[in-house]
Amino acid sequence: MSVMTRWSIGLDYTVTEADRDADGYVTAEVLGRWLTEAVDAYLAQCHELQRQAQTEGYALVRRPSRQPRASLLGRPAEVLVTASATEIKPTEFFITVRVRPFGGDEDLPINVTCRVSIEDTVTGEPMELSDAVRQEIVAIEREAEYMS
């Protein structure tokens, strides 16, 4: 049995020869690019977060978890890369990115989490996320339409 979940961001990619290594697997660099593009697309929706991050002396910080081996995707013809916020804490939230391969020798997705916060550029202390930021993230997730 498989469970489908809703995701806020959905990016489709056709895997080309340029995306593969000599053995036909997706390269680590390409997987890294897809993960970054999914987080970028998610953050582009977060206007309140961007506004709060413009506070003088603070910066938006992204801390992705360790990238899994790209070979775990097998040799797909296409991939669907989805992203959504999966946890919100007072000073940070987490974006989970799922890469689901299609048309290859593997069909299991891989997941990566990225921690996002607004931090003091000198001390590294995180700023508390405003109510407006938290409400915006919840609203984005309620409107999620991509299934994976």
Question: Where does the pLDDT of residue 16 fall: very low under 50, low under 70, confident under 90, or very high at 90 and above?
Answer: very high
On the question of pLDDT at 148 being above 80, the answer is no
Q: Which residues pair with 112 in a beta bridge?
A: 97
DSSP string for 41-56: HHHHT-HHHHHHHTST
pTM across the whole model = 0.94
Question: Where does the pLDDT of residue 97 fall: very low under 50, low under 70, confident under 90, or very high at 90 and above?
Answer: very high
Half-sphere CA count of 107, side-chain side, radius 13 A: 2
Name all domains of the chain by residue range, CATH numbers in brackets.
6-142 (3.10.129.10)
Collapsing DSSP to helix, strand or coil, 40 comes out as: helix
